[in-house]
Amino acid sequence: MMDVEITVGEWLLASMLGALVGLDAVSWPQAMWSRPIVAATIGGLIFGNPVAGFLVGLWLELVMSRDPPFGAARYPETGPAALTAGAALALAGSSSAPALMGSVLVGWTIGWVGMHSIAVTRRANARLVAKPAVFGGRTSEVARRHLACIRLDAARAGLIVGALLVPSVLVVRGIAAFPRLEFATNLGGWFSAVGLAALTGIGARALGTRRREWPALMAGAAAGALLAWGVR
């Protein structure tokens, strides 16, 4: 049986910050503290490991880049998902590659949960504001109903982090503690690298849209490889 060392104060803080990063993406103010690199760093920072948080956030940026938020497209919610994933890796007490991959997948999964929860709140918003006659010509009624929608979104995001934080830590710890075969060590790295590279290719295409731009992606990859080699 695994325990998760987290105080009620830390849990409440994480939930409240979850509400704040959840609000940012759509409702208010789109300042992008809901981006994975920020939200996951906040999650890691709460539990004493911002480096782990940022690293998960950067992975999530690339993994989620395949679903850009254009037009009426459906895309995973980044803020609460990344905050939970960053906190989960920091709390898991392991910085191994499997724990990192586990956190990335936890974040990716919660992102889709978040997307479905947003759809539910949007239907509720329609009941509050979609008939202009309900305002009765009063600006105070417009503000009251609009702010009620924003409060609903905050509650939704806070609930996601509050409900999924501890289970996420348990999942990441379980993955980190999973018995590994000696000969498969490199295979884990290979699967991570190939998965990330493929998702980066997909994300680059989603942003680029024109096939002739791929040499720029390859040039960047070559420069990055040279940099990594130089640093080593």
Partner 1 sequence: MIPGRGRFLAAWVRTFAVQGSWNYRTLIGGGMAYALAPLLERIHAGDPVALRKSLERAATEFNSHPYLSPIAVGALARLEYDRQDEETLRRFRGALQAPLGAMGDQVLWAGWRPFCVLVSGLLFLMGVGPVLTAAMFLLVYNAGHVAVRVWGFRLGWARGLEVGAALKAVPTKRVSRAFVFVNQVLMGAVAALLIARISGLEQGGWIGPSAAAAGLVGYFVPRGVAGLAIAALFVACLL
Q: How far is the CB of 40 from partner 1 (least distance, A)?
A: 9
Contacts of residue 34, defined as CB under 8 A and 6 or more positions apart, other chains included, come to 21, 22, 24, 25, 78, 79, 82
Q: How far is the CB of 65 from partner 1 (least distance, A)?
A: 7
Residue 55 three-state SS: helix
Tokens of 212: 């002739």
Nearer of residues 47 and 54 to partner 1, judged by Cβ: 54
Please tell me the distance from the alpha carbon of residue 49 to that of residue 41, in angstroms, as a whole number: 8
Shortest distance, CB of residue 16 to partner 1, whole angstroms? 18
Q: Which of 78, 88, 89, 92 is nearest to 36 (CA)?
A: 78
Task: Choose between 12 and 224: whose C-beta lies nearer to partner 1.
Answer: 224
CB nearer partner 1, residue 15 or residue 78: 78
Choose between 115 and 196: whose C-beta lies nearer to partner 1. 196
Rank residues 8 and 97 by Cβ distance to partner 1 and give the closer one: 97
Min dist. Cβ of residue 214 to partner 1 (A)? 5
The C-alpha atoms of residue 32 and residue 21 are separated, in whole angstroms, by 8
Give least dist CB 44 to partner 1, A: 7
Quote the tokens at residue 18. Answer: 């979850």
Whose tokens are 């709390």? That residue is 91
* Terminal C-alpha separation, the chain: 40
Nearest to 17 by CA among 160, 124, 147: 160
